[in-house]
Chain A
Amino acid sequence: MNKVLMFAHLRDAVGQESLDIAASGKTVAELKAMLMEKYDLPKLDTVMTAINEEFAGEDEIIRDGDVIAFIPPVSGG
């Protein structure tokens, strides 16, 4: 299983801080597509992804137990 963390407007859209999803073997892009289909999410093109707290590309493959975070454009400072 994988924990998928949501932040900012994505958290508002999903209504939860995180989702438990079996995503191992999928790429980041495939996971995004799957979630967009399942939830009424704003499009995820401008959303970065972190796997285990490091930024990951769209083609990276998710392994069992990885923590995935979707990171909308940041606005700290």
Chain B
Amino acid sequence: MRYEISKEPIQIQAVIDKVVEREAGAITTFIGTVRELTNGKKTLFLIYEAYEAMAVKKLAQIGAEIEERWKGSKVAITHRIGRLEITDVAVVIAVSTPHRADAYEANRYAIERIKEIVPIWKKEHWEDGEEWIGNQLETVSYPSGKPEGEDVHE
């Protein structure tokens, strides 16, 4: 299982171990953590929620996109859901490739794609309230009802 949604704290080394290859010359690891301050506002904790079955499929799709685009790459992604405290690890992405430049690029691609197509939502809890991020702000819109853009693979 290289693509997982976990209710437990993520074991970073376990994610890395999934992409170890004899052919690999580089492994990049991205660790997304819960930040205390967003635009000056203090977060107390976060709740992540996922449409789990679909989220796992979309994580696997991202991995397949990467393995197609960066030859010889191998990807593993675990995203945590539930209540996360400040500094907790929300997501770990490990990518191995034969050469380092590809490992950096592919890992960056993975996190950007997660933010586009993986059904996971974050609810911020502050001292004075709470809000699902990415909703009423309407900073993202999907006029056709699904993600847009040339690199959105169906």
Contacts and interface: CB of A to CB of B under 8 A. Distances in A.
B154 A55 contact: yes
Contacts of A47: 142, 145
A75 B133 contact: yes
Given A72-B121, A75-B121, A77-B114, A45 B143 contact: yes
Given A7-B49, A8-B135, A9-B136, A74 B146 contact: no
A76 B51 contact: no
Contact of A55 (B120, B140, B141, B147): B147
Contacts of A37: none
Contacts of A55: 117, 145-147, 154
Given A5-B51, A50-B54, A76 B121 contact: yes
B32 A77 contact: yes
B121 A8 contact: yes
Contacts of A25: none
Q: Which of B49, B132, B145 has the most CB of A within 10 A?
A: B145
B83 interface: no
A57 B140 contact: no
A73 B118 contact: no
Interface residues on B, range: 35 or more
Contacts of A4: none
B50 interface: yes
Nearest to B115: A77
Nearest to B141: A46
Contacts of B51: 5, 7, 50, 53, 69, 71
Given A9-B135, A46-B138, A69-B51, A75 B120 contact: yes
Contact of A74 (B57, B134, B145): B134
22 contacts: A7-B49, A7-B121, A8-B49, A45-B141, A46-B138, A47-B142, A47-B145, A49-B146, A50-B119, A55-B117, A55-B154, A56-B146, A71-B119, A73-B134, A73-B140, A73-B141, A73-B142, A74-B116, A74-B118, A76-B91, A76-B118, A77-B91
